[in-house]
Homo-oligomer: A and B are copies of this chain.
Amino acid sequence: MKYTLAIHGAPYASQSAQHGIGFAEALLRQEHTIERIFFFHEGVYQALSTRVTPQGEEDLMPKWLSLNARGIELAVCIASGIKRGVINEEERLRYEKISTSLAAPFTLVGLGQLISAINEADRYIEFPV
């Protein structure tokens, strides 16, 4: 089956990432496909490039990267993202900010990409918190 997943919570404020990653890895092991992982609301903070994981705690960024390396699109809602401070080079130039903050394999996309991913998939699963 084809799945679309949504992540609504920030790292350290929610278990969204653990749940989303655990579920996505199980999907791939069972030979399902993932149309897209969509980061919405505070979920956009998952894509911040400047996070530093404390010693002795698990860094979830490599797990997102590994999902991406297996062909999974990591799509950050652009409206939710830029107002919270998750911007790519294009938005940095447009709004004259000093630096970018979106980690490399994540992309900023419109809400249309959430709806089209939902339409393409057999299942839509949300990890809100």
Q: Which residues of A approach B to under 8 Å, CB–CB?
A: 10-13, 41-42, 45, 48-54, 57, 79, 82-87, 91-92, 95, 97-101
| 6 A/B residue pairs, CB under 8 Å, sorted by A | A10-B42, A13-B42, A49-B98, A50-B92, A50-B101, A98-B99
Rounded to whole angstroms, the CA-CA distance of A99 and B50 in the bound complex is 7
Task: Tell me the nearest residue of chain B to A86, going by C-beta.
Answer: B50
B42 touching A95, Cβ below 8 Å = no
Kindly state the separation between the CA atoms of A79 and B54 in the bound complex, as whole angstroms: 8
Q: How far is the CB of A43 from chain B (nearest CB, A)?
A: 11
What 3 A-B pairs come out closest when comparing CB atoms? Answer: A99-B99, A48-B85, A51-B85
Give A57 to B100 CA distance when docked, in angstroms.
22
Residues of B within 8 A of A98 (CB): 49-50, 99-100
